[in-house]
Amino acid sequence: MRKGLRKILRAVFDYDPSFCDMYADEPSRRAAEDYLARTRAHLRQQFGDRPLSILDAGCQAGRLVFPLAQDGHRLTGLDASGFALRRGRRHAKELALDIPFYHDTLANLRRWVKAASVEVVVCTEVLYLCPDYRQLLGLLADTVKPGGLLFISHRPVWYYVATALRRGQVDCALSVLERTEGPSPDGSYHNWQTPEQLQHLYAGLGLRVLASYPVNPIEIDIGQNSLPQPIADALAPMRHNATFRVPSYLLIVAQKAQTSDDRPQTSGTL
């Protein structure tokens, strides 16, 4: 659908056939269970059962906002899509939840949420689309109070290697291994990392990685086809006979240091 027509449909009819409401869409809600289960477990472990202030940066229509709010936490949502937020506000009204939603880009977060003002930040399936993801991750880290937690998802390098192989693009898969960002197999900008690169990135921001979880794995079957050695080595941990089980995202759970003396070193792995 053309962009101009989509804008008219959204503005006049509040309708967009290409839009997926990730709260109302059942497959999207099932996929969210991976995030929610891990998030809830770490919140209980770190904070017990008390209500927490939580920012969902890139909240879309509230896929994670509403379950966490129904757990008793104080949620704030931010998203660049006004259309998605209209859906979110509608869901909030239906659920009788009082949740502030802000329509803005992540780069403008400080217009709405002060530094060191929330105990938890959630940001899923957002940063891999942003060329300035390092700066945005730093902004999210600054938003959390000392000792607070961040739940951030990233695209792992394996995902794009697997995507390229699915399309028969072996040269593209090799190229992905040599970079951490740029054109993905579909031609659009994405960024991706190895677990070691994420460890270094988070440590440089004063964040201690507590855990890394695979989310929404995909399977690829290469049959009897042989792979170039760099690709075979990269995918080896995920190989099961002729099938590879590759996570679509890695959910990183990180904690902000209580003091400067608690800042992690930049060496180590997840």
* Distance from chain centroid for Cα 261: 29
Per residue in 202-233, pLDDT (tens digit) is 999 999 999 999 999 988 886 656 889 999 89
Task: Count CB-CB contacts under 10 A for residue 224.
Answer: 5
SS3 assignment, position 89: helix
pLDDT at 241: 74
Is 163 inside any structural domain?
no
- How does pLDDT run across 101-118, given as a tens digit for each residue? 999 999 999 999 999 999
Burial class (CB in 10 A: 0-12, 13-18, 19+), 79: buried
> Per-residue pLDDT averaged across 66-72, rounded?
98
Q: Provide the mean pLDDT of the chain.
A: 90
In a domain, 181, yes or no: no
pLDDT digits (tens, 9 = 90+) for 160-178: 999 998 888 999 999 999 9
Show Cβ contacts of residue 161 under 8 Å, excluding neighbours closer than 6 positions: 173, 176, 177, 231, 234, 235, 246
Distance CA 105, CA 149 (A): 22
- The enclosing domain of 105 has a CATH number of 3.40.50.150
Domain assignment present for 205: no
- pTM comes to 0.89
pLDDT band at 11 (very low <50, low <70, confident <90, very high): low
For residues 57-61, average pLDDT: 98
Tell me how far apart the alpha carbons of residues 8 and 194 are, in angstroms, rounded to a whole number. 41
Q: Residues with Cβ < 8 Å from 104, sequence gap 6 or more?
A: 78, 80, 111, 112
Task: Indicate if the pLDDT at residue 91 is higher than 90.
Answer: yes
- Does residue 170 lie within any of the structural domains? no
Q: How does residue 255 score in pLDDT terms, banded at 50, 70 and 90? A: very high
Residue 123 lies in a domain: yes
Q: Is there a domain that residue 229 lies in?
A: no
Cα dihedral sign, 103-109-179-221: negative
Mean pLDDT computed over 92-101: 98
Question: Does residue 67 lie within any of the structural domains?
Answer: yes
Asked if the structure places residue 73 within a domain, the reply is yes
Express as a percent the part of the chain with pLDDT over 90: 73
Domain containing 46: what range?
A: 17-154
Which secondary structure element, helix H or strand E, spans residue 234, and what is its range?
Answer: helix 229-235
Question: What is residue 190's three-state secondary structure?
Answer: strand
Say how many domains are in the chain.
1
